[in-house]
C-alpha cells in the first residue's frame, strides 16, 4: 500500500490505543497485514523509473500521508506517539530504501525486499486504489469509535 495508507493506519492506531508499546507493536504488525490486501502502489515497476522520479513520487506520498494523518489525529495524541506509530506502520517500506536507492543487496534490506515482494497483493488501477480507500476507510471508522 502507499505510505499514505500506512501512515493513516498508524495514526488511527495511535489515536485509539493509548499504550505506546501496544500501539507501536500494532502499527508494525499492521504493515504486512495491509500489504496482503490487493492494492496498487507507485513503487511497483521501480526499476523502470529513474531514481529521481521514484524518489519524488515516494517523497510526495510520505508528505501527503504525514500531513493528512497529523490533520486527522494530531489533536488526539502527543506528537511523539503519533510519530512513533506512523514510523512503526511505515517501517517495513523504510527498510527497503537502501535496497532501492543504494543497491544494498544484503540483509536486512534484501530480506525486507524479498518478504514484502512475496506478501504484496497487487491490483491494477483503478481497483487497487479503491481497495486501499475502502480498507483504510474501514480502519478509520473503527478507530474513531475508540478515540476518547
**21-51 pLDDT per residue, tens:** 999 999 999 999 999 999 988 877 777 889 8
**98-108 pLDDT per residue, tens:** 998 999 999 99
Q: Long-range contacts of range 61-68, CB-CB < 8 Å, 24 or more positions apart?
A: 61/2, 61/3, 61/4, 62/3, 62/4, 62/7, 62/90, 64/4, 65/2, 65/3, 65/4, 65/5, 65/6, 65/7, 65/8, 65/90, 66/7, 68/4, 68/7, 68/8
pTM for this prediction: 0.94
Query: Between the CA atoms of 121, 124, 129 and 132, what dihedral angle is there, to the nearest 10 degrees?
Result: -10
Predicted pLDDT at 59: 95
Number of continuous H segments (helices) and E segments (strands) in the chain: 7, 0
Amino acid at each position: 500500500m502507499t505510505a499514505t495508507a500506512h501512515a493513516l493506519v498508524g495514526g488511527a492506531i495511535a489515536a485509539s490505543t493509548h499504550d505506546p508499546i501496544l500501539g507501536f507493536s500494532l502499527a508494525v504488525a499492521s504493515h504486512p497485514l495491509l500489504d496482503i490486501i490487493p492494492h496498487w502502489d507507485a513503487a511497483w515497476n521501480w526499476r523502470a523509473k529513474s531514481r529521481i522520479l521514484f524518489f519524488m513520487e515516494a517523497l510526495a506520498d510520505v508528505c501527503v500521508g504525514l500531513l493528512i494523518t497529523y490533520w486527522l489525529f494530531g489533536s488526539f495524541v502527543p506528537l511523539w506517539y503519533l510519530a512513533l506509530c506512523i514510523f512503526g506502520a511505515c517501517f517495513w517500506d523504510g527498510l527497503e530504501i537502501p535496497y532501492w536507492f543504494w543497491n544494498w543487496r544484503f540483509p536486512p534490506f534484501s530480506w525486507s525486499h524479498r518478504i514484502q515482494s512475496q506478501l504484496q497483493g497487487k491490483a491494477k488501477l483503478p481497483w487497487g486504489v479503491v481497495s486501499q480507500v475502502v480498507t483504510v476507510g474501514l480502519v478509520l471508522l473503527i478507530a474513531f469509535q475508540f478515540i476518547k
